[in-house]
């Protein structure tokens, strides 16, 4: 299951998220989304977990919990919506 994790402290790195969620089960991949130009975290990321039951438990236990000074928003990730590309000038 793919999990969305939002309201992250900008200092949180991928290994921090992996450590947090690995207590519930095997973490397949972690990606903190960063700004393309500055490289700074955008404050959210995605975690893929092998076991759906473990992912559901992680969502239920961690949603609303404080992590590194911020209250986490954790839910099942939805597929990305197709958006028209903005023209570059």
* Mean pLDDT of the region 41-70: 96
Place of tokens 């900008």: 10
Query: For residue 28, what pLDDT band results from cuts at 50, 70 and 90?
Result: very high
Task: Decide if pLDDT at 64 tops 80.
Answer: yes
* Mean pLDDT of the region 47-76: 96
Domains within the chain, CATH numbers bracketed: 2-76 (3.30.70.330)
* Mean pLDDT of the region 47-64: 96
Please say whether the beta carbons of 32 and 8 come within 8 A. yes
Q: Enter the pTM of the model.
A: 0.86
For residue 45, how many other CB atoms are within 10 A of its CB? 22
């Amino acid at each position: 299951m793919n999990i969305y994790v939002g309201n992250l402290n900008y200092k949180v790195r991928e290994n921090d998220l992996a450590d947090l969620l690995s207590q519930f089960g095997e973490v397949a991949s972690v990606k903190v989304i960063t700004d393309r130009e500055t490289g700074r975290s955008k404050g959210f990321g995605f975690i893929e977990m092998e076991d759906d039951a473990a992912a559901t438990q992680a969502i239920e236990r961690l949603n609303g919990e404080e992590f590194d000074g911020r209250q986490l928003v954790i839910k099942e990730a939805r597929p990305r919506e197709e958006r028209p590309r903005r023209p570059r000038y």
